[in-house]
Structure 1
Amino acid sequence: MKKQLFIFLAKLNKLLLPSFTKQRLDLSNASKIQLLIFGWKLYITKRAL
């Protein structure tokens, strides 16, 4: 049940949130909100796997 929730959130993230790797964003120059989004997506993806 818990894993299905994270899989759903990962798919939702892919649809709604921007992909910083496709934009070739340098994390050392990223703003705080960009780092927050990147960390959120990383956490959800890790939990979904």
Structure 2
Amino acid sequence: MYKILAKLNKLLLPSFTKRGLDLAKAKKWQMAIIAWRYYVTTNALKN
């Protein structure tokens, strides 16, 4: 399930690292997206 979510994240959600986003200056909604992508990616790698 997490592998499918990871693929959807890659397609649908923006990649802030490619845009050069500074985490110290990130807005709350950007931090929420980063946290969600991190959670899904780590769980996809565990399974």
Query: Which TM bucket (shorter chain)?
Result: over 0.9
Provide the TM-score with structure 2 as the length reference.
0.94
> What stretches of structure 1 of length at least 5 have no aligned partner?
none
Q: RMSD of the alignment, in Å? A: 0.3
Sequence identity of aligned pairs in percent? 58
Provide the TM-score with structure 1 as the length reference.
0.91
Q: How far 1:24 sits from its partner (Å)?
A: 0.7
How many residues align? The count is 45
Q: How far 1:10 sits from its partner (Å)?
A: 0.1
Alignment of structure 1 residues 3-42 onto 2, 5 Å: 5-42=1-38
1:7-26 residue CA offsets vs partner (Å, 9 max, x unmatched): 00000000000000000100
